[in-house]
């Protein structure tokens, strides 16, 4: 089987490195020639909870070199999903499946538009990875990967992914309610990502300070109201307590959005708090806290060049 991972960010590198332990053909597709060249020479370097190790992967910027793939795994930022899958259309053959483990809500819909919903598999990964440099990551946390299709069906490709992932040590199970799962993860990101990006604090700090704890609770409460109105079944009995528990469990993490801000990059705010703002407005549910969070993060990500450095 041929598996292609698109995007050598933290998650793309982690998944590629682990999958390279399988007996399948693994390709990493990059859009940046210099970066691809470097990863080709050095491999992927991993440190952290799975030890210090290196993985050799096939990497290319030329999608034609790969041919068609059995499985394509999207590991680009959500705002690049559309362009990345359009560029990679030649990977899609009769039987190909496309898996997204990206943050936020909207990727399944974007991918479905391009390749057809019957091919698209969604999921969440609770693995933690931080990009330390080109092709160099810290494996910061181990956790389950949960995958499924929006219609709840479990075709053979989903079982294949579960088998391959489990065989290389990426603990994976299947869910029939992927929407509930994605929204449950969304609510965690709504509470943590924007606030850590604005305050430049580690996840754990958000619940240590009265101000951030209050804003976190309000942002999450708005998101829960939107999810409830949409009749989405969240997987946690007490989602607010869960977000605070994740802050504790990932206390020293630098959230993915704060990593983007520190690297002066665009963030995934439109796919996280932006979803709550848009859907809240559509449903007539007030979402003032998420609106402020979105406006602040958007201001930060478009004004790096104007920042006063102290």
Site string for ligand PAF, 152-191 (x = CB under 6 A): ------------------------------------xx--
Smallest distance, ligand PAF to C-beta of residue 258, A: 8
Please answer whether residues 134 and 39 qualify as being in contact, where contact means their C-beta atoms are separated by less than 8 angstroms.
yes
Smallest distance, ligand PAF to C-beta of residue 256, A: 4
CA-CA distances (angstroms) from residue 47 to 35, 111, 120, 136, 272? Answer: 19, 32, 31, 8, 29
Q: Which helix (H) or strand (E) holds 71?
A: strand 69-74
Q: Which of residues 235-254 bind ligand PAF (CB under 6 A)?
A: 246, 250, 253
Smallest distance, ligand PAF to C-beta of residue 191, A: 8
Alpha carbons 306 and 240: distance in angstroms, whole number = 36
Please answer whether residues 99 and 123 qualify as being in contact, where contact means their C-beta atoms are separated by less than 8 angstroms.
yes
Residue 203 sits in the site that holds ligand PAF (CB under 6 A):
yes
Residue 193 sits in the site that holds ligand PAF (CB under 6 A):
yes
- The order of strands in the sheet holding 136-141 is 53-55, 44-48, 136-141, 128-133
Which of 185, 233, 242, 264 is labelled catalytic? 185
Smallest distance, ligand PAF to C-beta of residue 95, A: 31
CA-CA distances (angstroms) from residue 4 to 107, 164, 195? Answer: 17, 13, 34
Please answer whether residues 297 and 273 qualify as being in contact, where contact means their C-beta atoms are separated by less than 8 angstroms.
yes
Judged by CB under 6 A, how many residues of this single chain contact ligand PAF?
A: 11
Is-catalytic flag, 153?
no
Nearer to ligand PAF, 172 or 250 (CB): 250
Residue 192 sits in the site that holds ligand PAF (CB under 6 A):
yes
Please state, as a whole number, how many other Cβ atoms lie within 10 Å of the Cβ of residue 169: 10
Q: How many residues does the structure list for the chain?
A: 310
Residue 145 sits in the site that holds ligand PAF (CB under 6 A):
no
Q: Under the rule (CB under 6 A), what is the footprint of ligand PAF? A: 103, 188-189, 192-193, 203, 246, 250, 253, 255-256
> Which residues have a catalytic role annotated?
185
């Amino acid at each position: 089987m041929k598996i292609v991972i698109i995007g050598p960010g933290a998650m793309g590198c982690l998944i590629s490195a682990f999958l390279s332990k399988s007996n399948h053909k693994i390709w990493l597709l990059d859009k940046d020639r210099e970066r691809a060249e470097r990863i080709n020479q050095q491999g992927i370097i991993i440190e952290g909870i799975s030890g210090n190790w290196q993985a050799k992967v096939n990497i290319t910027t030329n999608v034609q070199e790969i041919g068609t793939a059995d499985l394509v795994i999207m590991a680009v930022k959500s705002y690049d999903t559309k362009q990345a899958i359009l560029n990679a259309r030649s990977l899609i053959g009769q039987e190909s499946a496309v898996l997204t483990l990206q943050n936020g809500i909207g990727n399944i819909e974007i991918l479905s538009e391009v390749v057809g919903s019957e091919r698209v598999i969604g999921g969440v990964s609770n693995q933690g990875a931080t990009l330390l440099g080109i092709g160099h990551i810290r494996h910061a946390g181990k956790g389950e990967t949960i995958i499924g299709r929006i219609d709840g069906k479990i075709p053979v490709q989903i079982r294949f992914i579960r088998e391959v992932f489990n065989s290389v040590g990426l603990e994976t199970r299947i869910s029939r309610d992927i929407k509930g799962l994605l929204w449950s993860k969304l609510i965690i990101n709504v509470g943590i990502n924007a606030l850590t990006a604005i305050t430049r604090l580690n996840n754990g700090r958000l619940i240590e300070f009265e101000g951030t704890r209050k804003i976190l609770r309000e942002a999450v409460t708005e998101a829960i109201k939107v999810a409830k109105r949409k009749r989405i079944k969240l997987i946690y009995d007490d989602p607010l307590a869960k977000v605070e528990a994740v802050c504790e469990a990932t206390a020293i993490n630098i959230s993915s959005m704060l990593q983007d801000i520190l690297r002066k990059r665009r963030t995934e705010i439109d796919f996280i708090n932006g979803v709550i703002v848009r859907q809240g407005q559509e449903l007539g549910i007030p979402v003032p806290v998420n609106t402020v969070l979105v406006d602040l993060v958007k201001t930060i990500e478009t004004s790096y060049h104007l920042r006063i450095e102290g």
